Amino acid sequence: MSQLQDAIQKLARDAVVKFVKKDQVVGLGSGSTAAHIVREMAGLDFKNTLECVPTSLQIKVEAEKSGLRFADESRIPDIDVVFDGADQIDGGFNMIKGGGGALLREKILISAAKKVVIVADEGKFVKSFSRSVPVEVHPMARTAVAGMLQKAGGMPAMRTLEKGYPFITENGNVILDTTFALIGDPRKTEMELKSIAGVMEVGIFTRRADAYYKAKAGGTFEVIY
């Protein structure tokens, strides 16, 4: 195990101990860091009192292996804490998410949760965004939305699989990974892109989390509140 992976495992244990309590509804984001959280939750002696809401099939399968219970969508307004990762976190703690394609479901959970805990390695923390923004789009609107994104100063590219087939989200939508020269005001950009007809969700997340766990290459981690 690398020192960075060791750091992620340690911080996952710390995050679960600090933020998961008996009888809670817990939202589970997507990706490898969320998988570490799931494995730590599996070791809790009160895990059978928890109800989990996963954002992707990947994490649902991981949670099933760990013997965790699931809640249906009616429990989303009651989520006590959601754990998730990030593709980038800027100096103002805005995030770009959606590299795995679950941005719509992740935004729903993060918007509803009482507490949000973000787990990421130190390389994801940047001064300003330097990667494309995933934009989830209804298939019928992909051409129209691509044109609107260009007018907004973006360079959209449809996300594809290895053999060139379009990447389809678990909601049946496509993703336009859109590059901008500069995102000076993430909240304004998020709202402007979401106002385009056919855009289902935007991978800019501007809600401030309650805690950010930063895994470091030396095997340690830092918590930012």
Q: How far apart are CA 36 and CA 31, in angstroms?
A: 9
Q: Whose CA is closest to 95, among 190, 27, 24?
A: 190
Structure tokens at 80: 């006590």
Q: Strand order in 115-121's β-sheet? A: 51-54, 25-28, 81-84, 115-121, 211-215, 221-224
Please list, in sequence order, all residues whose beta carbon lies within 8 angstroms of the beta carbon of residue 111, skipping any fewer than 6 positions away.
207
DSSP state of 114: S
Cβ pair 25, 71 in contact under 8 A: yes
Please list, in sequence order, all residues whose beta carbon lies within 8 angstroms of the beta carbon of residue 118, skipping any fewer than 6 positions away.
84, 85, 86, 89, 95, 209, 211, 212, 213
Catalytic residues: 106
